[in-house]
Chains A and B, each alone.
Chain A
Amino acid sequence: DTGVSQDPRHKITKRGQNVTFRCDPISEHNRLYWYRQTLGQGPEFLTYFQNEAQLEKSRLLSDRFSAERPKGSFSTLEIQRTEQGDSAMYLCASSFGLSSSYNEQFFGPGTRLTVL
């Protein structure tokens, strides 16, 4: 399958623990995005990479959140000292884009995080 993949699909953790999610984009895509979606809401942007450079970060991305894309391929999103308010679906998307291009985004299946 050549789509966007995410791992794990589900994560249950206790408040205060650290968690890390992985996203593997479509292989030729240079852009990678993280979004967060809570129940009944649309996805909200968290951060975005072009190749290995992190170009945008939302105000939603507190100091407890960090994302990397070390070789411009897969990406990880880490949440430190998780809180119950972090419970959400974390979605990854990728696209191939230049500065003003078509840039259709393709989404992965998401990681459902539950913080107890």
Chain B
Amino acid sequence: KQEVTQIPAALSVPEGENLVLNCSFTDSAIYNLQWFRQDPGKGLTSLLLIQSSQREQTSGRLNASLDKSSGRSTLYIAASQPGDSATYLCAVRPGGYSTLTFGKGTMLLVSP
């Protein structure tokens, strides 16, 4: 059974810092990995999707990397802003399935 772990569970940083969120998964047989953002009480916003054949994806200040063989992904946020405060969720699509398996998320607080 695929399990996804996100470390740290919570992170508090001052504005302007670069930061890294970590995601690990137990079964490397995945189709893709998706990073989401969730604001309190809201739905999920897709940030980046990395196919299993890719090593990284970039969107603006966000960069996500994937090391499938070691079962790890990182989300790098450059020059953090208070508006980045949210919970960040990592999800993998296991091979042979169409659904996503999620981690519990990292709650990020960026203070001015």
Distance in Å from the Cβ of A79 to the closest Cβ of chain B? 19
> Is A106 at the interface (CB under 8 A from chain B)?
yes
B89 touches A42 (CB 8 A): yes
From DSSP, what is the main secondary structure of chain B's interface residues? strand
Distance in Å from the Cβ of B80 to the closest Cβ of chain A? 22
How far, in whole Å, are A42 and B32 apart by their CA atoms in the complex?
Answer: 17
How far, in whole Å, are A110 and B44 apart by their CA atoms in the complex?
Answer: 9
> C-beta contact mask, B39-57 vs A, less than 8 Å → 1, else 0?
0011111100101000000
**Size bracket of the B interface:** 20 to 34
How far, in whole Å, are A95 and B36 apart by their CA atoms in the complex?
Answer: 15
> Is A74 at the interface (CB under 8 A from chain B)?
no
A33 touches B99 (CB 8 A): yes
A43 touches B49 (CB 8 A): no
A41 touches B104 (CB 8 A): yes
B4 touches A109 (CB 8 A): no
**Which chain A residues border B103 with CB–CB below 8 Å?**
42
Q: Hey, which bits of chain A sit against chain B, CB under 8 A?
A: 4, 6, 31, 33, 35, 40-45, 48, 50, 55-56, 91, 93, 97, 100, 102-110, 112
